[in-house]
Structures are given as structure tokens and as C-alpha cells.
Amino acid sequence: MIAGDGLRLRAIERADLPTIVTWLNDPEVRDQLAAYLPMSLAAEESWFEKLPERPREQQPLAIDVQNDNAWKLIGTCGLHEVDWRTRAGELGIMIGEKSEWSKGYGTQAVALLVQFAFETLNLHRISLYVYADNPRAIRAYEKAGFVLEGRLRDSEFRHGVYRDVLMMGILRPEWAAARK
């Protein structure tokens, strides 16, 4: 478990799957994800069964927030495409619980995951992709220290229109300097 102040990142459990499927079937949530089709519980269970085949550091994590004395699942995050030669990885996150949007949880989860990537996994670089029309996510990434590295013009097609995708990244020395 990776713990922060009132927020934790933990392994995804089978009991989390129905909630995650509900989020993935919400068009408003799915609109900011690479997923563009609804998800069945059977498909999500099949995905879950294959998780142990992935390297442990590339298995997705649940995001829980402390609510009174209980923990509440609000999203998922993780690192993928880890390249150990270049010590680089790609970050992904979904805050699926819409009632918890705009409360800073995404920023906090990203900061915890970045700290884990640099301090525990010894990565040097973390990158991510975000839709240019998602200012809430862009602000969260910038608060965590990510900088704009490029724009992929008209690279996503959704709802009958093309939209740009931004590539953002953070290097370990930048992250370390910002923490001082």
C-alpha cells in the first residue's frame, strides 16, 4: 500500500470490479479515457484474471480516500510501459467517482505515484497523455510537476470531431528540485 494524507493506493481486488465497470460505462467518465466502448463485468473479470501475468510494478492500483473511519474507492491509477533500460514509464489515472471530482484527489494520487516511481522504482522519467480539452486533469498534472512536451494534433476522434492529445512528462531531477 502507498499511503498519503487521507488517501491511499492499493492493489485492486475482485470486489472493486463492479464499481470500476460502472465508471467505465459512464460516458462522462469514459470521455477522458482511451476506452471508448462500454465495458462488461465479464470483460473486466477476464482483465483482472490476467493481472498476475503483468510485472507487479505495472499492475494498476485502486485509489481510496478516507471517509470518516472508512475507506472509499474513487478511482484507479498506475504505471505502464515501464522501460528498465531507459528507466522510464507512463502514468495513467481515472477518478471514476464523479462526486469526488475537483477535490484534489487526482493531484494527490499522481503525486504519490510519482514519488513511488522515483523513490522506490528508481525511474528517471514519467510521461503521460491527456486530452487537450481536459483542463482539470492538465492542472492536476502541472501541480505534480509535469510539463508540456508536445501536442499530437487531431490524434483522437470522439463524438464526430478530432481533438488534440498532449504529451506531458517529468524527470526525476525536476521532481527532486521542486521538493526542496
Catalytic residue among 36, 129, 131, 141: 141
Q: Examine the residue annotation and report whether 129 is marked as an active-site residue of this protein.
A: no
Q: How far apart are CA 151 and CA 56, in angstroms?
A: 31
| Residue 148 to residue 96: CA distance in whole angstroms | 24
DSSP 72-86: EEEEEEEEEEEETTT
Amino acid at 57: E
130, 166 in Cβ contact below 8 A?
Answer: yes
Tell me the backbone φ, ψ of residue 84, rounded to 5 degrees.
Answer: -75, -20
**CA–CA distance, 6 with 59 (Å, rounded to integer):** 22
User: Which residues form the catalytic set?
Assistant: 141
